[in-house]
Amino acid sequence: MIIHDRRRNRRLKYKLLNVCEFTSTRKRMSCIYRDPDGRLVLMCKGADNVITDRLSVKSRGSPVFQNTQRCCDRYAQEGLRTLFLAEKYLDERAYAKWNEEQFQASLEVQNREEKVAAVDEKIE
């Protein structure tokens, strides 16, 4: 994907590498991509409680998260649903190992969905 940054008049190239599919059991989905600086990034979108459970202690303690959580709590009191979006940078070696595991799980004949979900859980 190429995005044109009009402010700096430059083109930013992103390469989608993997998609961890949404299921009603997982209540989230993730994409792994390479950003214009060559970094591996995982972005995860899902139910607020599911994403919160996967955040680092530092992230959960941040003022941004605390404010966001307060807003989401207010929305929930009104019966509205919310989604959180989180990202993390991945280590090249850890990603390569996970990618191979994910590929092998996707080839499974029996219980493929469960095996893929278990591998996806590792990277998220």
**pTM of full prediction above 0.75:** yes
H and E: helices and strands count for the chain? 5, 6
Mean pLDDT by 10 residues, the chain (124 residues): 88 95 91 96 94 93 94 92 93 96 93 92 92
d(CA 119, CA 124): 9
pLDDT at 40: 98
Angle (CA) 49-50-56 rounded to 5° is 90
Domains of the chain: 2-92 (3.40.1110.10)
pLDDT at 91: 96
pLDDT at 81: 87
Total count of residues recorded for the chain: 124
pLDDT at 28: 94
pLDDT at 71: 93
pLDDT at 25: 87
pLDDT at 5: 87
